[in-house]
Structure 1
Amino acid sequence: MQKNMSTNSTIDHCRVPNPATYKTLSWLMIGEFVLGLPLNLSVLYVFIFRFKFWKNKSIFLFNIVVADFLLVACLPAKAYHFHQGMRRSKSTAVCKLMLSMLFLNRGASIAFLITLSLDRYFNVVHLGRRNFVKVLKKSPQISIVIWLLLLPLTIPTMVRTFECCNSHGREVETIYHDVTDTFREVVFFTQIIIPFIILVYCTVRIVNRLRKKTVGERTKLRRAVWVVMSVVVVFSICFLPCTVARAVLLSFRLQKWQAEEDVAVQVYDSLMVLSYIDCLLDPLVYCFCNSGFKDAYISTFCPTFLQEKFINPDFNLGATTTTTPTHSGGRTISLPIIEK
């Protein structure tokens, strides 16, 4: 009977294969929303009113916050559909809009996270050379350009009605439809695999440089390692597992193994729900990337005993540079510390 169903072109692939699994996933998404909304609102408040990101060269970090809000906005609707036993909205317009927002969120998060890692890489491995990423960080227009470049990647989700917004490997009527689906899958995989390769390369080079440096330089290098490692953690938890599951799902679908596909669909959707916790993990990246933001956040929302323990005693929201006096002979020299 299952084999007959797999060959039936009218089978409703948008219905969940196991309602109990998807009801559990819906509650997990509600939990992510309940935790993610206040967390990201508090981060947004600190970035704008306390940290003043435009003065502290943290425009890229702010853009990650914006990308996370796109994700958080989708979670209640996604949870509702799962709870109703559907993998997507019955409305084609809603389905396309949500998938486009999820594509945009994922692309923006990855683009800005990788940019931060590249910035640390050039600051450490190629110290003294012109760092083009640092130049980009100072220009808000560059962030707008990145968003505009990401928008075309969402077009394949809107040009036609996808079955469950996800039809690659199904029966298609024209070559145009097949090319559109294939392009969407290529975008899905390349926006994760290529940045991950770049991230691993940056991490290895920074760690190797850390081993060669003298004791006096190791503090800055350790901070750079923590930055790229925090991005590695986000990738390893949020992006890589669902990418592997997606590849397995497509292989089963192309082989027309319906029973195996039903299992793979549940695994893939479960790992996609797991990937949504990037809106909870990204604030860790903010703290590792900029201790000034960490101090601003703790001073705003944490009790006094935590502020005394974790805040830098020289913390000053109004300054983007500080000076450290050193003595050379009979002279006192002020050395600028450009970024906390």
Structure 2
Amino acid sequence: MLIEDCEATNKNLYKFYAAVMIIIFILALPLNASVLHLFIFKLKFWKSNTNNVFLFNLVLADILLLFCLPIKAHNYIKGERRSPNDAVCKAMLFMLFLNRGASIAFLTVTSIDRYFNVVHPGRKNLLKALKKSPHISIIIWILLLPLTIPTMLKNFDCCNTDDTDVVDSLREAVFFSQIIIPFFILVYCTVRIVNRLRKKTVGDKTKLKRATFLVMTVMVVFSFCFLPCTLARMVLLIARVQEWPEMYQDKAAVAFDGLMVLSYMDCLLDPMVYCFCSTKFKGLYLSNYFPFLYKDSQVPIESSTGQTRGVWS
């Protein structure tokens, strides 16, 4: 069997992958939908000059990515690594690359903004000026579109079309750059933020501890969801270039598919990490969906002027 064939060699294992994706979909869809509802109808994110706009787009990217999971799960249950239909396969790849790229991009932009707010609070920067306009979010989505072109031109697993070395290299460059570059940016921002917060002696210690916990958790979640599949992809490429025995290439492909499933956990973890670490958002969420758990002692959701504040605090 060729490594790029659609048929899975270990059908039971792929059924397990499908079960994991179904569980992620069932848990993450209502969670992301409820968060999206709050951003639109309660927080009115478009009126805010804070990270609400970035967080809204992060949740939007996650919820769009979730709609791909039932189709992938269906293929796995049938014992197919990818859809044998060329159009469906390419459409899935387009959605997966675009929305996962958007999720990583908005996470990275949010972390960079957090870095400037904590490490350089008084310094003017381009991002601070741009985030006052929703156009930066539109620009990010548009810039991500060209990155999906290589997936539409070259066979990726079982999307069979004519291939060239140039397109193959572009595709792999897109895959790795979407994860590796943001990872180093997040590492830098996290280290600088943690060091800055540790040196800060004035201010609410509880807020400082929460901010430190937040940036550390962002780093852990990103590493847990995306680094394993990146390493697996690297091993798979080495196996193909060095022409390992077909059995080992197949095992590398199976491991890569499994770790890609793990990366979809990002859709489930994002709302809990990037939104629920805010006491304001937590209070808003509980008061709307779980009022019996809401406590009056929590941080107020709105300011004294009635305007909704940013949830990234």
How high is the TM-score relative to the length of structure 1?
Answer: 0.84
Q: Which moved more, 1:263-272 or 1:133-142?
A: 133-142
- 2:53 equivalent among 56, 59, 75: 59
Q: Which residue in the other structure is 1:315 paired with?
A: 301
Structure ID, larger Rg = 1
- 1:206 equivalent among 193, 212, 219: 193
- 1:146 equivalent among 118, 140, 144: 140
- Contact 2:218/2:274 (CA < 8 Å) preserved in 1? no
Q: Which residue in the other structure is 1:331 paired with?
A: none
The yes-or-no answer on 1:48 pairing with 2:40 is yes
The yes-or-no answer on 1:13 pairing with 2:13 is no
- 1:266 equivalent among 254, 265, 268: 254
d(CA) in 1 for partners of 2:141 and 2:92? 17
- 1:87 equivalent among 81, 84, 102: 81
Q: Which residue in the other structure is 1:132 paired with?
A: 126
Query: 1:175-190 counterparts in 2 under 5 A?
Result: 177-190=164-177
d(CA) in 2 for partners of 1:107 and 1:201? 20
- 1:286 equivalent among 256, 274, 281: 274
- 2:152 equivalent among 158, 177, 186: 158
Q: Which residue in the other structure is 1:250 paired with?
A: 237
- Structure 1 counterpart of 2:33, one-letter code: L
Flag the 1:339–1:34 CA change in 2: closer, same or farther, 3 A. closer
- Contact 2:17/2:76 (CA < 8 Å) preserved in 1? yes
Q: Which residue in the other structure is 1:76 paired with?
A: 70
- 2:228 equivalent among 236, 241, 248: 241
Q: CA deviation at 1:280?
A: 0.7
Q: Which residue in the other structure is 1:232 paired with?
A: 219
Q: CA deviation at 1:234?
A: 2.2
- Contact 1:40/1:69 (CA < 8 Å) preserved in 2? yes
Q: Which residue in the other structure is 2:183 paired with?
A: 196
Flag the 1:107–1:166 CA change in 2: closer, same or farther, 3 A. farther
Superposed CA deviations along residues 299-329 of structure 1, whole A, max 9, x for unmatched, are 111142x2117732x33274246xxxxxxxx
The yes-or-no answer on 1:300 pairing with 2:288 is yes
- Contact 1:249/1:264 (CA < 8 Å) preserved in 2? yes
How high is the TM-score relative to the length of structure 2?
Answer: 0.91
- Structure 1 counterpart of 2:224, one-letter code: I
Flag the 1:261–1:299 CA change in 2: closer, same or farther, 3 A. same
Q: Which residue in the other structure is 2:27 paired with?
A: 35
Describe the SS at the equivalent of 1:138. coil
Q: CA deviation at 1:178?
A: 1.3
d(CA) in 2 for partners of 1:181 and 1:287? 37
Describe the SS at the equivalent of 2:203. helix
d(CA) in 2 for partners of 1:97 and 1:310? 48
Q: Which moved more, 1:209-218 or 1:233-242?
A: 209-218
Q: CA deviation at 1:160?
A: 4.4
Superposed CA deviations along residues 73-128 of structure 1, whole A, max 9, x for unmatched, are 10000000011111111110110010111101111111110111111111111121
Q: Which moved more, 1:134-143 or 1:182-191?
A: 134-143
- 1:23 equivalent among 15, 21, 45: 15
Unmatched runs of 5 consecutive residues or more in structure 1 = 168-172, 322-336
Pairwise CA RMSD: 2.4
Q: CA deviation at 1:267?
A: 1.1
- 2:94 equivalent among 97, 100, 104: 100
- Structure 2 counterpart of 1:44, one-letter code: L
Q: Work out which structure has the larger RCO, using CA pairs closer than 8 Å and 6 or more positions apart in sequence.
A: 2
Superposed CA deviations along residues 148-191 of structure 1, whole A, max 9, x for unmatched, are 00000000111244442499xxxxx76xx111011110111111
Superposed CA deviations along residues 33-78 of structure 1, whole A, max 9, x for unmatched, are 1111111111111111122212333111010111112211100000
- Structure 2 counterpart of 1:242, one-letter code: C
- Contact 1:40/1:68 (CA < 8 Å) preserved in 2? yes
Q: Which moved more, 1:47-56 or 1:201-210?
A: 47-56
- Structure 1 counterpart of 2:16, one-letter code: T
Describe the SS at the equivalent of 2:122. coil
Describe the SS at the equivalent of 2:228. helix
